[in-house]
Structure 1
């Protein structure tokens, strides 16, 4: 079990005074476990300092602009797999049952595929199993990291850390499929209105889908005790 996952989850949560107060402790936990490369650790420390020392309204506005108003940066993992299709619902239910099977109960306003929630879950698993599950989403994490890097956002350090922790590297084909999709500009209000009016937005080629989408869903839906070894999925 690694506190690093919980620390990264905190850095990705909506900034509140509590998050600001705990950000330095999150970096201490990451440094103590030394599971991420030192350069990424230093970038995480800069993010934590920025969160802790920044004006609360400024850091909250930045967060909303990035992760709430920009769908291509959504922190809801299944949005990049299923979009708003009906398939997302059963996948969410399966993931919720997986959490409950390990004793993790969510509050009414938490989505099971929300990345900070998923990282909290990984923090209670054995390290190898957590890395394996994280690896199933590595292409989504890499795409988010690249989009944040393009924006010169300090949050990109979190995704660099997650890529380093993942048991498997991002599949090149799956990553390319995600990166081919439009990267939203929340400042373009006309385009955003059109995007949010769509009923079934997907983040992969319309006909073929994302190559690792089914693997991500099935890996999360299988109870950990029935996995082979560390829980790797072929």
Structure 2
């Protein structure tokens, strides 16, 4: 049976969506080029609606107020040392299980169908990678982000609970997506109470150094698939 989208989950993709997703992608990566990324975000911000723009600017204001080394240390402490602040979205639904390996493969195949190649140093479910893909391929990217809405919401709540400045960015990302549906709210509540599945398996060929910055997508080759 063909799966249909419920009316409540539909959302029109606006002209500003790709700009928001690209900027959010840059700011959610490892902060190794923060001044230029911050300046670019602040130039793009005026074209974004308030609920997307304001949390974005709260984050850039924080970035400007801290030293780069302190920001980098906070990034590692937040995203590499706290399981509930994991930026790899399939982890929330599947944990370290065999089903996660299949979910990662499915994402990589979605990128390939659109003609994009992922660097070998990064997993395809890193939120920064998903957002960059959405910025380049809005329809397909919006669908993938919506499919991972529950995990994204749990990440947002976890960052807020820890007082992390990256919670502002997740507020901005969430404002680009449809509100949580009833089953998604239930999934968030269940994940918050129980955590992801705990079956431990290897994820080769998806191993990585967790302290490495995201490696973004390579553009389609001329004449290649789109």
TM-score band by shorter chain is 0.7 to 0.9
1:54 positional shift: 2.2
- 2: CA distance, partners of 1:100 / 1:130: 13
Q: Secondary structure at the match of 2:165?
A: coil
Pick which of 146-155 and 164-173 moved more.
164-173
Write the mapping of 1:85-124 to structure 2, written as runs, cut at 5 A: 85-124=97-136
1:161 aligns to what?
A: 172
Residue segments in structure 1 that go unaligned for 5+ positions in a row: 184-197, 202-234
1:131 aligns to what?
A: 142
Q: Secondary structure at the match of 2:94?
A: coil
> Cα distance 1:73–1:90, how it changes in 2: closer, same or farther (>3 A)?
same
- 2: CA distance, partners of 1:140 / 1:180: 13
Relative contact order higher in (CA < 8 Å, ≥ 6 apart): 2
Residue segments in structure 2 that go unaligned for 5+ positions in a row: 1-16, 202-226
- 1: CA distance, partners of 2:195 / 2:116: 35
The alignment's C-alpha RMSD in Å is 2.3
Q: Under a length normalisation based on structure 2, what TM-score does the superposition of the two structures give?
A: 0.72
2:81 aligns to what?
A: 69
- 1: CA distance, partners of 2:179 / 2:109: 24
- Judge conservation of contact 1:133–1:167 (CA < 8 Å) in 2: no
Q: Secondary structure at the match of 1:120?
A: helix
Write the mapping of 1:1-234 to structure 2, written as runs, cut at 5 A: 2-16=18-32, 18-32=33-47, 34=48, 36=49, 38-126=50-138, 129-170=140-181, 171-181=184-194, 200=200
Give the count of matched residue pairs: 182
1:40 positional shift: 4.8
1:51 positional shift: 2.2
- 2: CA distance, partners of 1:20 / 1:104: 27
Q: Secondary structure at the match of 1:161?
A: helix
1:199 positional shift: 5.4
Q: Under a length normalisation based on structure 1, what TM-score does the superposition of the two structures give?
A: 0.70
- 2: CA distance, partners of 1:42 / 1:111: 29
- 1: CA distance, partners of 2:116 / 2:74: 30
- Judge conservation of contact 1:131–1:167 (CA < 8 Å) in 2: no
- Judge conservation of contact 2:58–2:168 (CA < 8 Å) in 1: no
1:23 positional shift: 1.4
> Cα distance 1:167–1:130, how it changes in 2: closer, same or farther (>3 A)?
farther
Pick which of 153-162 and 65-74 moved more.
153-162
